[in-house]
Amino acid sequence: MNHIQFCNCFTIAVKDFNLQQTLECGQCFRYYKLKDNAYLVLAKDQAIKIVQAQEKLNFYCSEAVYQAFWKNYFDLDRDYRSIKVSLSEKDDYLKTAIADKHGVRILQQEPWEMLISFIISQTKQIPHIKKLIEVLAQQYGTFIGVYDNISYYSFPTPKQLKDASEEDFRKLKIGFRASYIVDAVNKIESGTIDLDAIKKMSDDEAREVLMTIKGVGHKIADCVLLFGYNRYAVFPTDVWVKRIVEFYYKVNGKNMDMIQSFAKSYFGEYAGFAQQYLFYHARDNKIGK
DNA sequence: AGCCAGGCACCGC
DNA sequence: GCGGTGCATGGC
């Protein structure tokens, strides 16, 4: 039994940051609500407890670990104030969404984890996506430790998944997405796709490569680009975003190319941030259902 | 109870 | 090319 210890506590002051919003906005799935407003967050091979009290953020780790990993993970070096000010000037609807979800930050997550997570996400709701990822990690990931009698596992690497069959994944109730995961693992393990090489590509080239994976279309590729590669100009367009763009911006929602070119010219280099504020605000308030 | 979910592949035209 | 349909499963 390797009990996860959260002895050290490192506190920093934060602005334009809300832990709950950042974790629950739909960009990540490996977080667990503990008691007293605390969250346990898993990323790479690490687990951490975090608590926010107003503009103070308590990381239960050493300062060295915070500096080396979590600061970057939570994107705490970026000036969100200026991003929000510039986007809020665009229109009142976006301004309202930003005011509502003012504390969202776009995490810096792993491309591989984002790829598999968003493949799993299609036609599923967040609680179920979380469960499926948890089961996948339990089955194939590396044991991290135990906290409050619950065992935590890292997200499985391509290597850890390479011997699993479609049938194995179906047993975990992943359903029709099972073959998609097999294809993703094969393309990475065989070297057909190099997730590191994608870092050097343009957004369009990168999307094209990601979309050669079965089960990865425009939307999932864009989620990987925004949340895994931090390509802030991409504008992942799901049903919610489509409805917003149709209703508030009078763009023909049937035509994906028109939505994309609208987002590019209207929101510019910060389209990804705009998308996240709009999406989370709409979903949380059931706007446009 | 049944509808539908942070889509996509595949099939007909 | 483009519009319709099936897909696995569980939450609401």
Tens-digit pLDDT profile for residues A58-85: 999 999 999 999 999 999 999 999 999 9
Reply yes or no on whether the pLDDT at A89 is more than 80: yes
> What is the distance in angstroms measured between the alpha-carbon CA of A271 and the sugar C1' of C7?
32
Cα distance between residue A49 and residue A34, in whole Å: 9
Cα distance between residue A216 and residue A92, in whole Å: 33
Q: What is the CA radius of gyration of chain A?
A: 19
Mean pLDDT of chain A: 96
> What is the distance in angstroms measured between the alpha-carbon CA of A198 and the sugar C1' of B5?
30
| A56 CB less than 7 Å from any atom of strand C | no
> What is the distance in angstroms measured between the alpha-carbon CA of A282 and the sugar C1' of B12?
35
| A145 CB less than 7 Å from any atom of strand C | no
> What is the distance in angstroms measured between the alpha-carbon CA of A238 and the sugar C1' of B3?
19
One-character DSSP codes across A21-43: HHHHSSS---EEE-STTEEEEEE
> What is the distance in angstroms measured between the alpha-carbon CA of A5 and the sugar C1' of C6?
48
What's the pLDDT score for residue A159?
98
Chain B, protein-covered positions (CB within 7 A): 5-9
Reply yes or no on whether the pLDDT at A202 is more than 80: yes
| A20 CB less than 7 Å from any atom of strand B | no
Please list the residues that pair with A227 across neighbouring strands: none
What's the pLDDT score for residue A236?
97
Per-residue pLDDT band for A288 (boundaries 50, 70, 90) equals: confident
What's the pLDDT score for residue A289?
75
Reply yes or no on whether the pLDDT at A130 is more than 80: yes
Which nucleotide C1' is nearest A171 CA?
C8
| A271 CB less than 7 Å from any atom of strand B | no
Say how many CA atoms lie within 13 Å of A83 toward its Cβ. Answer: 24
Chain C, protein-covered positions (CB within 7 A): 3, 7-12
